Amino acid sequence: MRSPGPAARTLPPSARPPSFPARTPLPGGSPSPPILPAFAEHVGKVPVQTSAIVSSAYWGGICAGRLVWAALSHRVSSGWPVLAADGSLMLLSSLCFVAFAQLESHHVWQLWAGALIMAAGFASSLPCAITMPSEAGVVITPGRLLAMNLAGSAGESLMPFLFGAAFERGWYARPAHRSRRLRGLASRLPSPSPSSPPPPPHPLP
């Protein structure tokens, strides 16, 4: 029996190059942790072990935030300010990830800040959003509650899969590639020739 060729052999997990996986997160999760190690290694050459610790801190932050929300939610009179604060925190966390990707330094603290701030914003957003229909006076029947849970599960399962598939195919780089291509085409256009200076005025007779 012939030994399998190099193409048929499988590499150990430690030797496999990281890629953007199209995984489905845990219930109530988000697409950030599955792609965070691959993103950090691909952009900033961050070791997978370090980004794995950051991902664990993200889930730990969500767990701690849910416990805090359970203890303090009875004092909240309206969920709208909470959702606004959660959305602001998620936007701030995305700016941290953008800074990590765009700045040449690629500091690891930017990953930590982005992951922990996102965990703080995401922790109370889901339980708070579930209470919004009751705040608006909508009667929550078992069928409506089931529909809300199914819609949430479908969204949190489908979107990470689509984002992971897009990252694996490199679709995230197409806008930047098109921008560079347009700049290259613009640089090839002939520059306008400088206008000739006006002739000197004729002397008066």
- Are the C-beta atoms of residues 30 and 118 closer than 8 Å to each other? yes
* Per-residue pLDDT tens digits for 10-63: 434 444 434 443 343 433 444 444 578 878 888 888 898 898 899 899 999 999
> DSSP readout, 153-191?
HHHHHHHHHHHHHHHHTTGGGHHHHHHHHHHHHHHHSPP
* Per-residue pLDDT tens digits for 112-131: 999 999 999 999 988 888 88
DSSP conformation class of 8: T
Buried residues in 128-161 as b, exposed as e (16+ CB within 10 A): beeeeeeeeeeeeeeeeeeeeeeeeeeebeeebe
Q: Which of 102, 100, 114, 98 is nearest to 46 (CA)?
A: 100
- Are the C-beta atoms of residues 153 and 28 closer than 8 Å to each other? no
Residue 85 in tokens: 């604060």
- Are the C-beta atoms of residues 38 and 166 closer than 8 Å to each other? no
Q: Is the pTM of this model over 0.75?
A: no
* Per-residue pLDDT tens digits for 165-180: 776 776 755 555 555 6
